[in-house]
Structure 1
Amino acid sequence: MPAKNVTLTSNIDATLKEFFAQHTYSLIGVLVDENTKEHCYPIIKDNLPEHELCQIPSGELNKNLSTCSDIWEWMTKAHFDRKALLVNLGGGVIGDMGGFCAATYKRGIDFINLPTTLLAQVDASVGGKLGIDFQAYKNHIGLFQEPQQVIVYPQFIYTLPKEEIRSGFAEVIKHSLIQDALYWPKLKEAGVAPDDWTAHIDHSIKIKAGVVDADFKEGGLRKILNYGHTIGHAIESYFLETERRLLHGEAIAIGMVAEGILSVKYSGMPQAEADEMSQFLLDTYGYHEISEQEEADIIGLTHQDKKNEKGVIKCTLLERIGKATYDINISAQDVAEGLAYYRSFKK
């Protein structure tokens, strides 16, 4: 089952040694960006067998076919065969794109993920979704393929800027909102600066892994993991093409607020709960202005959401905090109403 390949460890040295004692590869490559090469690679390099290193530029802006071409060229020149292994050391971009390149190179080689950001540890590296952005559309090209192993080492996140940790926290919030109402007060109390992230990471992994185990190819239940993402991904995609970029978690926070009022409208979420959730998200992530022209373009992008069917926007909404529902039809006007609700919190 997909969840069984996720290891949460406080001893990265022993975990890596154990993995490579049990697996033999013809060649090992490590994919990094400039940040993980400086801050994370030194932590693990002495516990890896002999290997090749490939560095790509960091950031969502580089998660595209051009960078994939560079990775495939590196693998080809290094003579990777089908018994080789790719180690993805990085955040969601490295995991998504490195996994995609590994899964398509010579029809597929093994890869493992060592997620180094909170966002990747609690969400992106768990569940076998791989892909890249295409033109203005996030994760538009991709496939489902499980890594051989996901090794989650919470200490990596202390190498991150505070804004990146805050970005990942949005997915921790989402997991509580869709499936664990009892955990919600703990999140609100701790906020974005708990003494120890391990409990939050473990909680999120268990929720996501449980959902993925039940519905790996996203035929039904797995769609609940998309709460906040129909509108949020459109916002992230729009601002990715501008000078005023938003981090993933910042965009998804806006999406969760906007989809909160649609949850009141379509799935019976109490207004008080929507307001409570939204206020916490605004307190955590601040307010980001969205102009009328930007709103029109964002609405257009929601029509390319991967959950849509026959031109109808399909959305995941909340019945209440802790319980999600999916495949709810919404319109462009609904998206506008959601964004108007978000603007109502502007001070």
Structure 2
Amino acid sequence: MIPTTRIFDGHNDVLTRTLKAGGVDAADKFLAGVKGHIDAPKAKAGNLGGGFFAIWIPTIEDLDDDLTLMEAPQYDIALPPATNPKNALQICMEETAILFRLEELGALKVCRNAADLRNCLENGTMAAIMHMEGAEAIDADLHALEVMYRAGLRSLGPVWSRPTIFGEGVPFRFPGSPDTGGGLTEAGTRLVRRCNELGIMIDLSHITEKGFWDVARLSDAPLVATHSNAHALCPHVRNLTDRQLKAIAESDGMVGVNFAAAFLREDGRMLSDVPLAQMLRHFDHLIYVLGEDRVGFGSDFDGAIVPREIGDASGLPNLVEAMRAHGYDDALLAKLCHENWLRVLQKTWGA
């Protein structure tokens, strides 16, 4: 039996943070505690049972500078250029090695099916879904996809907020519409179809609206955005319109609520003074449009500035208690905390 408020989370950037801190040699620090949002002690304190561990290729530009620019009332940050494929593959291998080192240390288990995930959430082992945020390391012939799938890859976003050979991502812009560029390329079409065949979940966070609709037409799996919010409440280009949300509902997919301040606040600013009541407005709206079986957590821990009342993974109980005080009963809390992710992953993976 999984505890009611055991949290499974739709997105974190632990692997990239560890890469920057020293790579595989720095992985053991995760057990004792590190500067950042997630480590073993913080996860235990926050009842965080696991999540999607993103393999992400850092930009040449300093992302911290972009976060500073996003503190302004309005901003339009240009998309970074496409990444060199050989460099992307090397970094992908390094971050994958970090994930397996964490598993070797006993910090987590890489889950390849729904039974693995459920068992981890029941027994208290941190569950890790190997996820790729932006497919820069995947070649047009999809050879790397085949290898990564056999290594454990079970979730993939065709793009981050920059172009790939598969499609385009949205920029960091406020205010704005997610309709910012082109859709899937021919290679992107092949990628989606092969992911469907393998049972790799396709993540629609970061993709343009045209790309979203291309995936919706092509994919036979539930539509999922692991870490996105409601555009109706915060008109940031990273957020999803109600029309997109309705398409996700019709596919029986789901959305993980992103904790990044800029995607929560009505003014789109990346500032941490976000009341939990504002987060609950996004939960309420998503539940209203998608239904209570299709909403979960998608924190973006270690990749964004999050509300001060949460701070890091150890502060998750503050959000859960706010949800309870807001009127969410135990049955709904269990769905939002982990059951909905279990449902959509089992439906996507088929096991």
Comparing both structures, which one devotes a greater share of its residues to helix? 1
Larger radius of gyration: 1
Comparing both structures, which one devotes a greater share of its residues to strand? 1
TM-score, normalising length: structure 1: 0.31
TM-score, normalising length: structure 2: 0.30
